[in-house]
Structure 1
Amino acid sequence: MGLGMGLVLAGVWMGCQQPGVMPSGTESARPWREAAAIVSRVQPPRFPNRTFSITDYGAVADGRTDATEAIRRAIEACAAAGGGRVLVPPGEYLTGPIHLRSGVNLHVAEGAVLRFKTDPDAYLPLVLTRWEGMDCYNYSPLIYAHGQVNVAVTGRGVLDGQAGDDNWWAWKGPGRNRPAQGPNQVAARNRLVAQVAAGVPVEQRRYGPGCYLRPNFIQFYRCRNVWIEGVRIRRSPMWNIHPVLCTNVLVRGVEVISHGPNNDGCNPESCWDVVIEDCVFDTGDDCIAIKSGRNEDGRRLGIPSGNIVVRRCLMRDGHGGVVMGSEISGGCRNVFVEDCRMDSPKLDRVLRFKSNAVRGGVIENVWMRNVRVGRVADAVLQIDFLYEEGAKGPYRPAVRHVRMENVEVEQAARVLDIRTFEGAEIRDVRLVRCRVRGVTRPDRVDGGDVQLVDCEVERAR
């Protein structure tokens, strides 16, 4: 599709009205009513009015004394009492992994800093976790809960993973500021991918020491009523906020500034009823990346992510503002993005879909409106079905029923970057009443039903 100064593209919205499928333009208010319904029912859990300060259990705010056991005792006492708030008061505390229990709100007060150890042995014993969409036993996430109900991390304090190129980030392997030689995750990652493909039982997928698979920062696994609000997250080993197989998830007012490898901001995976609002993401990878399991692990469970609302967020650096994939084998549907701002020469795309013929997955019913973008380094919309493994596989990914409406971009390299292969499905993808300025490169569109409807595209002078 050629681009020119002041080009206005007109078309007809060809939506569908069957249940579960994007409605036509004349019914464009209906999905936003669904978004409002999701927001109304995703509410923070309530906690008893009881406070358990970690300093009462031995924590010392000197940044050097190990507070791990004091925090554990405070959480246990809170849970035994029927729930409440575990308070981290102002000051600096050194800690290992924190495991939350049902009914516990870990409240990190303004002026408090939790600094997490960088010694991998502190994150033993191994726990059941999901690593890049694959279940295994590995180092504990820095903050973790499994099978709990009513759990929260709140407050205006700082969570500092202390990751850097001399510890966790080096495990990624060679890269910017990382050594060309040294122990890294490559062999273990390849082994885990092979185990997933072979159907090796999860109990036999044991990693940890000698494998170099980095832990996530915050991971709630199979939890219900999850609330994360206000905290400032820094220097994560990899993914920052990672709810897995959770329902009723509220992430609000969080600031994530973390630029290491795979430092995604928030990755709901196989989660249902999720609201992410009023957050700031300045990351070394995708700002928000919705997932549902990788390859056979995603298909084995077959649990999509869905009913997800993203609103009033600010995205700065990152590979994509809002992303679906690449671990998306379980599928994704009903995603709503509105009233967000994005702006950075290091933000690559506004809306991004990524999969391939090994991962597959169906992504449908994605709505974006009223998004203001300053600069984006590459495309406004990218659909990449050749990501990593490419077209060599039996599973055909699909993206269908997508609408981007009233998206304004001041500067972008191009509008569309569509990479696909025969047999994959890209259908009913529309940009409606969008305006994109400062375009410097032609679109790449390998195929698929993608149209610009009443849009303005202006090439840079």
Structure 2
Amino acid sequence: MKKISLLILAVSFIFTSCKTGMSQNSDKAWEQADAIIRSITVPEFPDRTFKLEDFGGLGDGTTSNSEAFQKAIAACNSAGGGTVLVSEGKYLTGPIHLKSNVNLHLQEGAEILFSTNKADYLPLVHTSYEGVELMNYSPLIYAKGQKNIAVTGKGILNGQAGNDNWWPWAGKDVYGYQEGDANQNSEGNLPALREMAENNVPVTERKFGEGFYIRPTFFEPFECENVLVEGVTFKNAPFWIMHPLKSENVTINGVSVISHGPNNDGCDPEYSKNVLIKNCLFDTGDDCIAIKSGRNNDGRRVGIPSENIIVEGCEMKDGHGGVVMGSEISAGVRNVFVRNCKMDSPNLDRAIRIKTNTLRGGFVENVYVKDVEVGQVKEAVLRVNTYYGIYGKQEGNFIPKISNIQLENISVENGGKYGLLIKGRESEPVSNIVLKNVTIKNTETPLEIENCEPVQFINTTINGKKY
């Protein structure tokens, strides 16, 4: 009850702060962030160990360990929980399906190699692709409807994706795609899935998998409670890397993500609540962290905002954005806190980014960013774009609402093309943007702002000019 009361207090305050002015309430907002952290249940596990080798596991890099993982996890779960221990070695396997009260622990020197045989990821499971639910290949590590699960240790999770496996399906030459080959954009693939979602076809009838070209996520806890990912390294992912979906109480601590494939977002909480991402390294082929809440009609059908997301003590290197909200954002995002992070790479496009359009709609409100060091970014320190679209103009009837964004104690050595790049809608301008104690030393264009209420500058300097 105590944790629930703290969380109710936190959310109550955040909504109140929208009305009373963010610049006067930042200290209390961060107190509420701390209250949210205290409310998050981190799973604990009984002192029982189930060694993979005792269930036939063999770390020679070539023997399939799919059955060994299945048996060890089932035994651990049946006994009431504990740790499935993966010792030093290279363990080839198909997808791993976690069960309640199981901690999958990789010792230092352990590496799990996920199969390159697509048939190993069948039968189909209920999953999601770019904000649209479907029946597809299993994520590499998957749990649905489970409670108290973890992936921990100092080992490596290697998806073995590359220009000869999974990545060509993105349909981009740089990732091994050959002109004329079938890919996710071919007829019957993503276009068909998105049409099904717009026509409210039941998810159980959206069947893909074999014969199609839609890549699985790497780690996906779906409708789970009390999730921990700690210490491990992810690399060579087919698609999004950590994807908490419709999950609550998620802690991601000390994780390294080094994966430069297509759509290799580091962490994408979607329809999820009470998520703490701390002390992590992100070096990715797409957004480092991207907070999602469904695409277009499917997001509105589900209707679960992502909320109470805290990012602290992280390092962002390559990526399209450091902390991003969107573009799959139709159910909305609220209460995002980012602090004590470092963002620095010639291949990092933006520090903070919000992206949507009038097909997505949705809302973003209550975003607090504090004590962040930015070395360099390519495009912008803060970008808010309500005209987002990769494949041409994307216009509909769902006007997004963006409000209450505060950047405080931010230092930027090289801000790239823009300090602030904000493009709102005339019918719904972006509102209540505050910069407090922000210094951007070098940027080509300090401000490029359309359809936004006046930005509030407090002790802010851009290119040596005080605003």
TM-score (norm 1): 0.94
State the Cα distance separating 1:62 from its structure 2 match.
0.5
Q: 1:20 to 1:301 in 2, by over 3 A?
A: farther
Whether 1:215 aligns to 2:216 is: yes
Q: Which moved more, 1:99-108 or 1:21-30?
A: 21-30
State the secondary structure of the residue aligned to 1:438: coil
- Confirm or deny: 8 A CA contact 2:286 2:319 kept in the other structure: yes
Q: Which residue is 2:447 aligned to?
A: 443
- Confirm or deny: 8 A CA contact 1:98 1:143 kept in the other structure: yes
Distance in 1, Cα, partners of 2:218 & 2:447:
37
Distance in 2, Cα, partners of 1:219 & 1:156:
20
State the secondary structure of the residue aligned to 2:251: strand
Distance in 2, Cα, partners of 1:393 & 1:103:
44
Distance in 1, Cα, partners of 2:420 & 2:135:
40
Q: Which residue is 1:340 aligned to?
A: 341
- Confirm or deny: 8 A CA contact 1:439 1:459 kept in the other structure: no
- Counterpart amino acid of residue 398 in structure 1: K
Q: Which residue is 1:142 aligned to?
A: 140
The match for 1:456 among 455, 461, 466 is: 461
* Aligned residue runs from structure 1 range 292-331, under 5 A: 292-331=293-332
State the Cα distance separating 1:420 from its structure 2 match.
3.2
**Between Structure 1 and Structure 2, how many residues are aligned?**
446
Q: Which residue is 1:398 aligned to?
A: 401
* Aligned residue runs from structure 1 range 345-424, under 5 A: 345-388=346-389, 390=393, 392-413=395-416, 414-424=418-428
Whether 1:193 aligns to 2:191 is: no
* Aligned residue runs from structure 1 range 10-25, under 5 A: 18=16, 23-25=21-23
- Confirm or deny: 8 A CA contact 1:88 1:107 kept in the other structure: yes
Q: 1:299 to 1:417 in 2, by over 3 A?
A: same
- Confirm or deny: 8 A CA contact 1:38 1:273 kept in the other structure: yes
Whether 1:152 aligns to 2:150 is: yes
Q: 1:391 to 1:235 in 2, by over 3 A?
A: closer
State the Cα distance separating 1:423 from its structure 2 match.
2.2
- Counterpart amino acid of residue 184 in structure 1: N
Distance in 2, Cα, partners of 1:447 & 1:256:
36
Q: Which residue is 1:434 aligned to?
A: 438
Structure 1 vs Structure 2 CA RMSD: 1.7
State the Cα distance separating 1:453 from its structure 2 match.
3.0
Distance in 1, Cα, partners of 2:268 & 2:337:
15
- Counterpart amino acid of residue 258 in structure 2: I
Q: 1:40 to 1:17 in 2, by over 3 A?
A: closer
- Counterpart amino acid of residue 447 in structure 1: N
State the Cα distance separating 1:177 from its structure 2 match.
4.1
State the Cα distance separating 1:424 from its structure 2 match.
3.5
Distance in 2, Cα, partners of 1:322 & 1:316:
12
State the secondary structure of the residue aligned to 1:244: coil
State the secondary structure of the residue aligned to 2:35: helix
- Confirm or deny: 8 A CA contact 2:292 2:326 kept in the other structure: yes
Q: Which residue is 1:74 aligned to?
A: 72
- Confirm or deny: 8 A CA contact 1:440 1:459 kept in the other structure: no
State the secondary structure of the residue aligned to 2:319: coil
Q: Which residue is 1:57 aligned to?
A: 55
State the Cα distance separating 1:166 from its structure 2 match.
1.0
- Confirm or deny: 8 A CA contact 1:100 1:143 kept in the other structure: yes
Distance in 1, Cα, partners of 2:253 & 2:201:
37
Q: Which residue is 2:164 aligned to?
A: 166
Q: Which residue is 1:132 aligned to?
A: 130
State the Cα distance separating 1:97 from its structure 2 match.
0.1
Distance in 2, Cα, partners of 1:73 & 1:66:
13
- Counterpart amino acid of residue 85 in structure 1: T
State the secondary structure of the residue aligned to 2:378: strand
Distance in 1, Cα, partners of 2:311 & 2:155:
23
Give CA deviations for 1:111-148 in whole Å, capped at 9, x if unaligned: 10001011111100000001111110000000000000
- Counterpart amino acid of residue 421 in structure 1: R
Q: Which residue is 2:8 aligned to?
A: none
State the secondary structure of the residue aligned to 2:24: helix
- Confirm or deny: 8 A CA contact 1:173 1:179 kept in the other structure: yes
State the Cα distance separating 1:415 from its structure 2 match.
0.4
- Confirm or deny: 8 A CA contact 1:412 1:436 kept in the other structure: yes
Give CA deviations for 1:396-443 in whole Å, capped at 9, x if unaligned: 011101100111110012201122333233100122210001212453
Distance in 2, Cα, partners of 1:163 & 1:277:
26
Q: Percent identity?
A: 47
- Counterpart amino acid of residue 279 in structure 1: C
Distance in 1, Cα, partners of 2:291 & 2:133:
17
- Counterpart amino acid of residue 403 in structure 2: R
- Confirm or deny: 8 A CA contact 1:426 1:450 kept in the other structure: no
Structure 2 residue ranges without an equivalent (≥5): 1-13
State the Cα distance separating 1:44 from its structure 2 match.
1.8
Q: Which residue is 2:3 aligned to?
A: none
State the secondary structure of the residue aligned to 1:30: helix
State the Cα distance separating 1:296 from its structure 2 match.
1.2
Give CA deviations for 1:43-93 in whole Å, capped at 9, x if unaligned: 421111100011110011100100111011000100110111001111111
State the secondary structure of the residue aligned to 1:425: coil
- Counterpart amino acid of residue 429 in structure 1: I
- Confirm or deny: 8 A CA contact 1:396 1:425 kept in the other structure: no
Structure 1 residue ranges without an equivalent (≥5): 1-15
State the secondary structure of the residue aligned to 1:439: coil
Distance in 1, Cα, partners of 2:20 & 2:324:
19
Distance in 2, Cα, partners of 1:33 & 1:312:
17
